[in-house]
Amino acid sequence: MSRKPAKPPVALKARTGAAKTVSASKAALVAAKPVEVVGQTIERALDPLASALKRAALKRADKFSRAFDNPDKAAKADPAKVDKAAMPVSPLAVPFPRMTPVRGVTMATARAGFYKHDREDLLVMAFPEGASCAGVFTRHGVGSAPVDWCKRHLEASKGEGVKALVVNAGCANSFTGRPGADAVRRVASAVGKRFDCRQRDVMVASTGVIGVLLDDARITARLPEAEQRLTEDGWGAAARAIMTTDTFPKGAYAEADIDGTTVRIAGICKGSGMIAPDMATMLAFVATDAAISPGALQALCNLYTRNTFNAVTVDGDRSTNDTLLLFATGQSGAPKISRAGDRRLADFRDKLEGVLMDLAHQLVRDGEGATKFIKITVTGAETAASARKIARSVADSPLVKTAFAGEDANWGRIVMAVGKADEPVDRDSMSVKFGPHWAAQDGLIAASYDEAKMSAYMKNAELEVTVDVGVGRASSTVWTCDLTKRYVEINGDYRS
């Protein structure tokens, strides 16, 4: 389908720095009759039944939302329940990195009002003509409307020509049926009109409470403001805008060499609970100014997801909204690469994997109520898949995780979790080690076992457990955190 030549949108003017504001007449026109408002008016006129259904669905959603989002009632019981920003920062938190702007990427945040307290909860990102996009999404059986939208349109466009990304926090728009899909379409249509692109060139992501319909008017009403605030240097604000129960913003940055040219890779993510990605509520957005074809970008995305985002777990629960989107603007001046295996991408591949790993680890560090960052490695397995399943069994076990919370080196629980994975193991050859200390060897408590040394080790904030199951040579590593009383408090109060 051919596209008419596009006139330079306001967004591109902001991106080049040529103009921070529009003319007075243009501003008056935007204020008086935004294009998305016109589009919605026409839509309502043409389809009154659809409008009526939307209003009814929103009314039900508002009623449902008020049942658990009464700020006055919550404030009397616990002010922190209203002001999510008041949640104590995880003791495992890491500082937000210094991130140099990625050429061709601009972003802005705004307050759409999905939260009762004062915080920005909307992120808009813009990309130049010719940008590539790749994505990996949840394989959850109840995927969200934004996930369905991105998957369908990335497949249709083959990852070419993506111009914008819109993300909201506070409403997952999952399990919302046709009205939820219509809300996503209206958001993409409004953004497309403002950025002079097709609606399929707009990616959409949401995070928050499942089962509540997205009020898209809250987003479209803020688009003029967001468009005027687009900036190249807004990664920190972007990371904060997409937070839900997160206690700190998460970002990662690296520079790589492609055929003598330096390219930049920057990414943000959100997630704290409901974290056990199977991608393919975790969202991650990574951008580079390298010139990489959509096919190669998708191959890299698939390759490095497995041992990064898919190798972490907080509570063993997968989200309906898990999304990783990777954008390449091609603005660095480096030569365009069409194959993921191209030798010129060697350094880029390493740095990209490092950025994804950094972001994935930060999810675990911000696990709801977490006090321990734990690396679990299984060796001696028959296959890598078997080792991975055993490691996940240990990492997801509530008994194992609560033992870590109590600083108890209960290796018996480790052995229990290994056995319940129903994978080949040799009981009489199995060994368990906490850091440098042996707990068990050859199917028995280790002769060198020292309770005092083990107890001292367990007081560390970062721990390692290695299990050899004695049947082969394959290995796998999973990162997790402990399970504390705070996790129960956070999730017990999540909707109250």
pLDDT digits (tens, 9 = 90+) for 406-431: 999 999 999 999 999 999 999 999 99
Q: In what order do the strands lie in the sheet with 164-171?
A: 106-110, 122-126, 164-171, 202-209
Residues paired with residue 145 on neighbouring β-strands, in sequence order: none
Active-site annotation holder among 281, 320, 323, 379: 281
Proportion of the chain above pLDDT 70, given as a percent: 79
**pLDDT for residue 289:** 98
pLDDT at 298 over 90: yes
What's the mean pLDDT when you consider all of the chain? 84
Please provide residue 258's backbone torsions phi and psi, each rounded to the nearest 5 degrees: -125, 105
Query: Is residue 25 within a helix (H) or strand (E), and if so which, with residue range?
Result: helix 24-32
Of 228 and 41, the structure prediction assigns the larger pLDDT to 228
Return the sign of the alpha-carbon dihedral for residues 386, 140, 206, 148: positive
Greatest Cα pair distance, the chain, in angstroms, is 83
Residues paired with residue 166 on neighbouring β-strands, in sequence order: 124, 204
pLDDT at 54 over 60: no
Please provide the size of the chain in residues.
496
Q: Which of 121, 125, 139, 277 shows the shortest CA–CA distance to 209?
A: 121
**pLDDT for residue 158:** 94
Helical segments of 172-214, H only: 177-194
State yes or no: is 281 an active-site residue: yes
Retrieve residue 397's tokens. Answer: 């076990």
pLDDT at 340 over 80: yes
**pLDDT for residue 493:** 72
Dihedral through CA 200, CA 39, CA 123, CA 352, nearest 10?
10
pLDDT at 451 over 50: yes
Which of 38-47, 162-171, 175-184, 317-326 is least confident? Answer: 38-47
Contact 252, 343 (CB under 8 A): no
**pLDDT for residue 276:** 55
pLDDT (average), residues 386-411: 95
**pLDDT for residue 274:** 60
pLDDT (average), residues 260-265: 98
pLDDT at 292 over 90: yes
pLDDT (average), residues 342-348: 98
Which of 105-119, 170-184, 240-254, 260-274 is least confident? Answer: 260-274
pLDDT at 10 over 80: no
